[in-house]
Amino acid sequence: MKQSGIHRKRQSGIFRRVYLGHLTASFAVLAIMSVFFVFAIRSAITRWNKNETADIEQMLMPVISKVHRLDGGLDASTLESALLPYITDSLYVYVFDRDKHPVLLLNRGQRVSQKEVEKQVGSMQTFLALNSPSQIKDGDETVGYLSVDSVDFLAYRTNREFVSNIKKAVAAGAAGAVFIALCISAFISSSYSKQATSLVKEITDFSDGNRHIKFTHSATTEFDMLVRSEEKLQKQLWKEEALRRQWMQDISHDLRTPVTAVKVQLEAMGDGVLDCSTARLENLLGEIVNIEKLVNNLHELIRYESPEMVIRPVCIDPGVFISDIQERFGFLAEQKRLRYHCTSSVTGFFAADEFLLQRCVSNIVQNALQYTAPGGCILVTLERTGDRRADGRQNIRIEVRNTGSLTPKDKEHVFDRLYRGDSSRREGGTGLGLSIAKAIMDLHHGSISAENRDGNVCLCMEFPFQPVPEETAGTE
């Protein structure tokens, strides 16, 4: 019930956040559209007023010019008689002479005095300064000035009804848009919430130990990426748990056999069934040594695979390094009647953890000694590859080649922990040597591989080449 409550909180959280996000975006868009609409209406009304004034001026200018030509001047009574047929109760017509003195002032079809006009608009000089009148010309001569204006667009009832209807239509459209946005937001939010709820439940079951969860794929890219990552993790855990179980079984088997042998013999000697001879004690000591070797190798492998393990690179002389490998196993190879040779073509020093690198190569050479039949050959080569990596660096390659071949099964499991081929089992190998070598290559950010080539088994180690000046050789 507690876990279900957590699920509900998560569901509520993602639903609420996505829903409010969509809702906020919808209202933001609506607010922006409203501002643009109001601006557009006001701009249209302003343009209408300007165009109306310009049309009236173009209509009255010829009439005033004609009066001037016929009378030889601008007479108020004559102008009033000539203009009244063109004037409606929405027009303001002010006619001035050349000096901008009022000649005729008509407000909505009625003649008014200058004082009456100034009561409404203020000082006439101020009015003319703010509303520059248009010139009245008779040919090329300026005979007077005309100032025309009409009432505002919204002063007409028809126009007000038109604007009101537009506002109602826009308001209805906005309400419908908000409703649709709410429905779409609810649908999308609910979809995301269901996907998130399903994924959380599957991950929770998976974390509780259920390794057979079938994850539900989603049409949402991010959720689907999470599902694929979980599936990848699921497969990796299956593999790791299978390896862990197999490893524990192998360790139990490899420890139980020698421990049981030692225990049985010691009990038999204690009961007097077996005599306590030197040969039997040496045999028991050998079994204990094998147990100790297995435990030590396990300890080293765990340490090398630990995230806290840090290598300590030093300057390595390739010639000295390969000579040490030659001397270390030369006598054993001679005893087994094997041809054994080590060569290096690397010039200059390179950086690596010398102790771990020696351990890595030694484990592989020991493995070759176990698997190579008498009369065979083991060749160890140290070289610098010419293949450049993505970061522009080169590699150090160490290859151990021995006569023989790997079976498909051996090739697949050669670096698995506690895996031993038949020869290794006969000679008492622990099955950890190559696993340790792989762990050491991982610490050096390198790789190790095994293959059959020209009648030989080739184990190849590669790691980044880091050149080191000769004068720093031997220093950490």
DSSP 462: E
pLDDT of residue 470: 55
| The total number of residues written for the chain in this structure | 476
Q: Residue 223: CB partners within 8 Å, gap ≥ 6?
A: 195, 196, 199
Across-strand partners of 95? 104, 146
Alpha carbon 11 to chain centroid, angstroms: 24
Burial 2-18 (b: 16+ CB within 10 A, else e): eeeeeeeebbeebbeeb
Distance CA 246, CA 182 (A): 57
Which strands form 134-138's sheet, in the order they lie side by side? 110-111, 102-107, 91-96, 141-150, 134-138
Distance CA 421, CA 407 (A): 9
Q: Is the pTM of the predicted complex or chain greater than 0.75?
A: no
Please say whether the dihedral angle defined by the alpha carbons of residues 286, 290, 293 and 295, taken in this order, is positive or negative: negative
Tokens linked to 286:
């050998």
Helix, strand, or coil (residue 375): coil
pLDDT of residue 124: 82
Distance CA 66, CA 326 (A): 125
476 residues of the chain, pLDDT tens digit each: 444 444 444 444 666 777 777 778 778 888 888 888 888 888 887 887 788 778 888 888 888 888 888 888 888 888 888 888 887 777 788 888 888 888 888 887 788 888 888 888 788 888 888 788 888 888 788 888 888 877 666 666 777 788 788 888 888 888 887 788 778 877 777 777 777 777 777 777 777 766 666 767 666 677 677 777 777 777 777 777 776 776 676 667 667 767 887 888 888 888 877 788 888 788 888 778 877 877 887 778 778 777 788 889 999 999 999 999 999 999 999 999 999 999 999 888 999 999 999 999 999 999 899 889 999 999 999 999 865 545 557 899 999 999 998 888 888 878 877 666 554 444 555 677 888 899 899 999 999 999 999 889 999 999 998 877 555 444 44
Enclosing H/E stretch for 174: helix 157-207
Whether the Cβ atoms of residue 36 and residue 30 lie closer than 8 Å to each other: no
| Alpha-carbon distance values, 172 to 166, 183, 265 (Å) | 10, 17, 99
pLDDT of residue 9: 46
Angle, CA 316 vertex, CA 311 and CA 321 arms, to 5°: 110
* Terminal-to-terminal C-alpha distance of the chain: 59
Return the number of other C-beta atoms located less than 10 Å from residue 102's C-beta.
17
pLDDT of residue 212: 67
| Alpha-carbon distance values, 473 to 274, 347, 349, 426, 459 (Å) | 59, 13, 7, 42, 28
Distance CA 474, CA 458 (A): 31
Distance CA 114, CA 111 (A): 10
Distance CA 224, CA 216 (A): 8
| Alpha-carbon distance values, 247 to 295, 364, 414, 431 (Å) | 13, 21, 14, 11
pLDDT of residue 321: 94
pLDDT of residue 3: 46
